[in-house]
Amino acid sequence: MLPSEDHYEIDVATASSLLDSEEPPFRLIDCREQDEFDHCRIEGAELIPLSRFAEIAHQRLLPAPEDAKPLVIYCHHGMRSLNATRFLRQNGRTLVWSLRGGIEAWSTQIDPTVPRY
């Protein structure tokens, strides 16, 4: 189950279990830069670099249609994704969370085949 709207983060264990379902209940957005994405990523993630986040978000994520899937955003350690989450919430997208600990936590706690850097 996704966290409540009162929370801004989702832990990697919860996100992983939801991604393992037949139809994941959220879109996974990677807000790192292209070189980081090329180095490693979580399977199924869409790249929207934070350096272009506002521009791209207005085209692809805002405004959110009522039937749009919730979003989980990640970066390396969770700070950039928390900023992206705040930006989207301030612009009307309420069902969005940052992946706590980012891809680093994913690699150490969920999938050690994901390279660390």
For 70-113, what is each residue's pLDDT tens digit? 999 999 999 999 999 999 999 989 999 999 999 999 999 999 99
DSSP H helices in the chain: 12-19, 34-39, 53-60, 79-90, 102-109
| List of domains in the chain | 9-109 (3.40.250.10)
For the cut 80, the answer to whether the pLDDT of residue 61 exceeds it is yes
Identify the pLDDT of residue 67: 65
The model's pTM is 0.94
SS3 content of the chain, % helix, strand, coil (to 5): 40, 15, 50
Token pair recorded at residue 52: 């272009």
Give every CB contact of residue 55 below 8 A, 6+ residues apart in sequence: none
